[in-house]
Amino acid sequence: MRKGMTFTRFIIEEQRRIPESTGEFTLLLSAIVTACKEISDDVNRGQLINVLGSAETENVQGETQKKLDIISNDIMLRALEWSGHLAGMASEEMEEVYPIPSKYPTGKYLLVFDPLDGSSNTEVNVSIGTIFSILRCPENISAPREEHFLQPGVRQVCAGYVLYGPATNLVLTTGQGVNGFTLDQDIGEFILTHPKLKIPESTSEFAINMSNQRHWEPAVKRYIDEVVAGSDGPRGRDFNTRWVASMVAEVHRILMRGGIFMYPRDNRENVKEGRLRLLYEANPMSFIIEQAGGASTTGRERVMGVCPDKLHQRIPVMLGAKEEIGRIDRYHTEMDKEIESESPFRQEAN
Ligand code: F6P
Ligand code: MN
């Protein structure tokens, strides 16, 4: 007998705790997980089955697509469109909302996803992942349009990711804490290996792409200058840094051993609003992090409180250990106050 509960048993037992549950959500989750197992297999055998490298096409955000970005997106669509649980889907790799083909029934949920996050890492055999978020389709809408997907993160029903690394991990929240599973390749099932994940409130580890330093706002510069100064600086202790360039791997590390992840907005033209996408990157990761006892901010507000105004909206995101995220928020507030007090309009008013 193997140790640990299977994912199938876990979701069925969760379903039993909600007497009015129809089982629709359980089946939807199960279909998502099956799709991710297929992606995991392609990622794993990438070099051997000739699916690595660029597809020579661009997605809606002007990023070059990898062959695996397109393959993973197709796997998600094909595995979920027939299920009858979804009213529509949206993904990083598709400009427009994906309607459920008319030959299939529709359901009450919407799915948004990043089919292969961190895909710049595919050729170098570094961890990548699929991120997903489940929303409720507004009442009486059977053919949802973009506006129906534009819901703040607090309205997510479920968020999760599957990390394709040395092991394949599934991490999931439905708002009742966070649970982590590991794929047992021999039996093709995820096994509950990390029940009730929690992040320590304090940390001495941070992740940020330091090459963007000269573009950051003063609040971010101040925070990073202080942690880099280590025991010689105002923080009085040394910090460690990591940057995988794969948000899924970054968030997973934070869930396993603590830390923070930062992708602030900066003054480059395409990062003015932030780099990561609100609906299928920042929101699901923020839901997971908050449910594990961490915090997630834009520097000025809670990520999950932001009302999206477009499908592929970008946003600054800083998440992880509560104490450090609180400090980053404070530095932003102090910076904004200072800027306001120096404004010529303000001086005129005085
Ligand atoms: O899709 C966004 C992403 O790949 C994240 O997974 C990652 O954190 C980030 O971009 C890396 O960005 P950069 O290449 O600018 O460091
Ligand atoms: Mn991504």
- 161: nearest Cα among 149, 173, 151: 173
Contacts of 140 (CB under 8 A, 6+ apart): none
What's the pLDDT tens digit per position in 112-129? Answer: 999 999 999 999 999 999
Q: Which residue has the tokens 């705790």?
A: 17
Which protein residue's CA is at the shortest distance from atom 8 of ligand 1? 247
Q: Which two tokens stand for residue 72?
A: 């993973």
For ligand 2, a single-atom ion, the residues with CB < 5 A are 114, 117
Q: Kindly tell me if the per-residue pLDDT of 2 is higher than 80.
A: no
Q: What is the pLDDT of residue 167?
A: 97
CA of 297 to the centre of ligand 2 (A): 18
Ligand 1, atom nearest to 246 Cα: 6
Between 18 and 115, residue with greater pLDDT? 115
CATH of 205-349, one of 3.90.950.10, 3.40.190.80, 3.40.630.40, 3.30.70.890: 3.40.190.80
- For residue 229, the CA-to-ligand 2 centroid distance in Å is 31
CA of 217 from ligand 1 middle (Å) equals 19
Q: What would the mean pLDDT of 82-96 be, rounded to a whole number?
A: 97
Domain ranges, ordered by start, for the chain? 7-194, 205-349
Percent of the chain exceeding pLDDT 70 equals 98
Strands (E), 83-220: 86-91, 98-99, 109-117, 128-136, 158-164, 168-173, 178-184, 189-194, 205-207
Domains 7-194 and 205-349 alike in fold = no
Name the fold adopted by 7-194.
Fructose-1,6-Bisphosphatase; Chain A, domain 1 (3.30.540)
The rounded mean pLDDT for the chain is 95
pLDDT at residue 51, rounded to an integer: 85
